[in-house]
Structure 1
Amino acid sequence: MFARFAELAAARAGHTAIRAFFTPRAGTWEARFADDQPAYARAVGRMGLRPGQTAADVGCGTGRALPALREAVGAGGAVFGVDLTAAMLRSAAHEHRDDTASLLLADACRLPFADGALDGLFTAGLLNHLPDPRSAVREWARVGSPGATLALFHPSGRAERAARHGRPLSPDDVLAADNLRPLLETSGWRTTCYEDAAEYFLTLAVREP
């Protein structure tokens, strides 16, 4: 019981920190990163989604991937944008992203979907913000159908982001290939692509049966 209480307390503290960081930034997020939209569309295009499928942007923020996800699955598919910060979802709605997707307030590690419900999961810059990446990746495997595609994306590469923050690349970075591949492949995913280019980061993985 005490272990469970400690787990819940840690999760709540993590939620508070994430919301404290993103809430004051939500109103200007879209304007700051508007130029990234084509990169999001290209990353979604690499997922191989088909009309009629179901996809989610986990940690969607202002929902920049949602229009591309909708285009990929068509009118007969389903698209969800999930975020922990209500202010980000309000900004997504302000950008009319709720016209193309259902917006859900939820934890990336406790998604409101049934087992095997999703054919595609897209995340952008999320894994580094999570206190327990392994739990998140396992949860994404739970909601992914056999053969589902997971896309881990960022519109800039790891080196560029490290330089922007005035720090060297860390071997402990969860997105480093030596860390990310084992994390995925012991959590129900098979890595099919790892690209850490100067102008973007993209890893694709397929849900194992």
Structure 2
Amino acid sequence: MPVAVLEYTPQGDLASAIDGAVTTAGLSSRTIRLWDGEPPPADLTGIEGLIVLGRAGAGAADPDRGGPGAGAALLRDALAAEVPLLAAGPGACVLAVAAGSVDPEGQGGRGGCGRTGFTPAAEGDPLLTEAAPPVCGPRPAAGFRELPSEAVALVSCDLHAAHAFRIGGSAWGVDFRLGDDGGLAPWWRRTLDRFSALVAVRAEHTAARAFFTHRADAWEERFAHQTPAYAAAVARMRLAPGDRAADLGCGTGRAMPALRAHVGETGSVLGIDVTPAMLVAAARHGRARHGSLLAADCTRLPLPSAVLDGIFSAGLLDHLPDPRSALREWARVSAPGGTLLLFHPSGRAERAARHGRPLDARDLLAEPNLRSALVATGWTLAEYEDAAGHFLARAVSGGPSASRGRSRR
């Protein structure tokens, strides 16, 4: 179920209209009827987006069904993992409460709506910028007096502080009514189309963040015993003082102290990961003392060309949907003669056995396949080891001539 629809109150024909908007974008959806006692998903596994409908505690078959606590943990997990989330109509109040609103009712005491308009914070918003409300706006359910501390108002009027807000870059609460007489308002259909498209575009990142976010706190302790192996692998990069190095898919940054030790105080170290929770854990374990931590997509790096002398990456490449595009991007940011070190603290055979499968000749990390992929993307394979206790491949950007040009390697 790429999109989970949490229904706190019955939505009638609106639910079918929302499902239609989601499936039009090529996604599937599943409606969880919290009001009828259906339990929310235990975690975000397999969920690429969330839609929240109805008001918690209202219209439930009994007081324990569809109450304020139902689904709240899932919404908080989605906020932490930056899973795209749209809370529509009264559902915006559910999101506000899950995010820690100090105004549990969430709605202003004054009825009606003044002239609605975007706030300055809405400029460039990926969901609402192209959906400017008309002069009087779509009819709001009411309006918010206060928002959670991390929320920013996107649409307001002269009677209410907010009719729409965003939390982070992936969650929206929009209290405009979904429709009248069981029909979905055209404004909402266009907004749902944009949300569905956003879910589809972000699916790759969503899956990674959903998997790693709730594991981030325990990651360091679970794998601390591998730190010496990471340090030994970094030593194989042959970095020199003053070099510029990055750990792509750094997780909690276990390679960063070793990278810093080799590039020295005059060099630079970047730890880059797509999951913010992993970077928070990295900072908590002191990795920010060894370099800068950056939340970014490792396949579309926000770096200029030829800026890195060394790239370390552990257990990332073969999990990317388009490894060759990633290798091409890594070559772009590497200086001529720069080093790429691919590492895993387990060999291919050990990992295959752990997952109960035989070695696959089509595996990207098999030497012939990896060599071919590297050559096609601007690298030359210099070392390859697939041992019982580790996997390691060292490549040089720009080919053999570039490697000879950097004598210190």
TM class by smaller structure: over 0.9
Which residue number in structure 2 is paired with residue 73 of structure 1?
Answer: 263
C-alpha deviation, 1:8, in angstroms: 8.2
1:108: which partner in 2?
298
Q: 2:335 aligns with which of 134, 141, 145?
A: 145
Alpha-carbon deviations, 1:113-135, whole Å to 9, x = none? Answer: 11000000000000122111011
- Tell me, yes or no, if structure 1 residue 93 matches structure 2 residue 283: yes
Corresponding pairs, count = 204
Deviation at 1:10, TM superposition (A): 5.6
Q: CA deviation at 1:180?
A: 0.6
**Shift of the alpha carbon at 1:206?**
0.3
Q: Are residues 9 and 140 of structure 1, via their aligned partners in 2, closer, same or farther at CA, if it must alter by over 3 Å?
A: farther
Structure 1 counterpart of 2:363:
173
Any idea what SS the aligned residue of 1:178 has? helix
Q: Displacement, 1:185?
A: 0.8
Counterpart of 1:164 (choices 327, 350, 354) is 354
Question: What does the per-residue CA deviation read over 1:47-75, in whole Å, with 9 as the maximum and x for residues that have no partner?
Answer: 00000010000000000000000000000
Structure 1 distance, partners of 2:332, 2:378, is: 8
Offset of residue 170 of structure 1: 1.3
For 1:129-140, list aligned pairs within 5 A.
Answer: 129-140=319-330
Match of 1:196, as an amino acid? D
Amino acid of the residue matched to residue 387 of structure 2?
Answer: A
Other-structure match for 2:228: 38
Structure with the largest fraction of helix: 1
Q: Cα–Cα, structure 1 residues 189 and 200, in superposed 2: closer, same or farther, change >3 Å? A: same
* 1:82 match: 272
Q: Is the 8 A contact 1:157 1:198 kept in 2?
A: yes
2:213 is aligned to 23
Cα RMSD (Å): 1.5
Q: For structure 1, list consecutive stretches of 5 or more residues without a partner in the other structure.
A: 1-6
Q: Structure 2 stretches of 5 or more lacking a match? A: 1-196, 403-409
CA–CA distance in structure 1, aligned partners of residues 375 and 384 of structure 2: 13
Q: Which moved more, 1:41-50 or 1:163-172?
A: 163-172
In the TM superposition, what is the alpha-carbon distance from 1:21 to its structure 2 partner?
A: 1.1
Change (3 A) 1:48 1:8: farther
* Matching residue of 1:48: 238
Rate the CA distance shift 1:15–1:183 in 2: closer, same or farther, 3 A. same
SS class of match (1:109): coil
Provide the secondary structure at the position in 1 that maps to 2:215: helix
For 1:195 and 1:8, the matched residues in 2 are separated by 40
Counterpart among 389, 402, 409 of residue 199 in structure 1? 389
C-alpha spacing 1:11/1:73, structure 2 compared with 1 (3 Å):
farther
Kindly tell me: are residues 8 and 113 of structure 1, through their superposed partners in 2, closer, same or farther at Cα, counting changes over 3 Å?
farther
Higher-RCO chain (CA-CA 8 Å, sequence separation at least 6): 1
The share of aligned pairs that are identical, in percent, is: 63
| Superimposed CA distance per residue, residues 84-132 of structure 1 (whole angstroms, 9 cap, x where no aligned partner) | 0001001100100001110000001111211000000000000122111
SS of match in other structure, 1:48: coil
| 1:5-24 → structure 2 map (5 Å cutoff) | 11-24=201-214
User: Post-superposition shift, 1:179?
Assistant: 1.0
1:10 and 1:117, CA in 2 relative to 1: closer, same or farther beyond 3 A?
farther
8 Å contact from structure 1 (residues 18, 129) kept in 2: no
Q: Which entry has the higher C-alpha Rg, 1 or 2? A: 2
Separation in structure 2 between the aligned mates of residue 197 and residue 10 of structure 1, nearest angstrom:
38
Runs of at least 4 residues off by over 6 Å: none
| Structure 2 CA distance for partners of 1:194 and 1:87, relative to 1, 3 Å | same
Distance in 2 (CA, whole Å) between partners of 1:8 and 1:71 is 41
**CA gap 1:10/1:94 in 2 versus in 1, 3 angstroms:** same
**Residues in 2 aligned to 1:156 and 1:36: alpha-carbon distance in whole angstroms:** 10
Counterpart of 1:181 in 2: which secondary structure?
A: helix
Summarize deviations over 1:150-174 as a string: whole Å, max 9, x none: 0000001001111111111112211
TM-score (normalizing by structure 2): 0.49
Q: 1:108 to 1:8 in 2, by over 3 A?
A: farther
